[in-house]
Amino acid sequence: MCEEHRTQATPDLFVVDRRPRPRRPAEARRAVERAVSERCRVTHTPCNAQALSDALLVASELTTNAILHGGGITDFRVSVQGRLVCVSVSDRSAALPVTKDPVDPHGRWRPGGHGWPIVCRLARDVRVTDLPSGGKRITAMVPLG
């Protein structure tokens, strides 16, 4: 389980993608891919395929969780800061993400509950921020290699 850092909202230092916020995980993945590809192009450094894959999976899981459990995506931001991809997803729910036991009390396997552990495993740092207008923002910093 990942260590959660819950903080109050403060001004962001993100480079904001001015495109409309994603409505589906695939749109979030494309935004991350654009940000990482642009960074690699500008800095003339090769993109690590595995690290990009990790960042895409984190973006997908965070947006999926916001859609399924958080009342929808209210904000999405992605930036590359040095060797880290910063993915930030806001939703309407103040509830913290939870990890479900894969087996129910009757011994049956249940679907779901894997996204949050995936995010925590792949990200170097995960922060949950309460938003003044309600809801939360989850920010995950994923190493680029």
- Tokens of residue 130, six digits: 């309460």
Which H or E run includes 85?
A: strand 84-91
Of 39-43, 48-52, 100-104, 141-145, give the lowest mean pLDDT range: 100-104
Give the span between the Cα atoms of 88 and 100, in whole angstroms.
23
What predicted TM-score, i.e. pTM, was given to this entire model? 0.82
Predicted local confidence at residue 70, as pLDDT: 94
- What are the angstrom distances between the C-alpha of 103 and each of 36, 111, 120? 37, 9, 21
CB neighbours (10 Å) of residue 145?
12
Task: Name all domains of the chain by residue range, CATH numbers in brackets.
Answer: 5-143 (3.30.565.10)
Cβ atoms of residues 64 and 110 within 8 Å: no
- On average, the pLDDT of the chain sits at 84
Q: Show the tokens assigned to 82.
A: 């040095």
Average pLDDT value for residue range 69-82: 93
| Rounded percentage of the chain residues whose pLDDT exceeds 70 | 84
> For position 100, what pLDDT does the model report?
74
Number of H helices, E strands in the chain: 3, 5
For the residues 27-54, what does the mean pLDDT come to?
A: 91
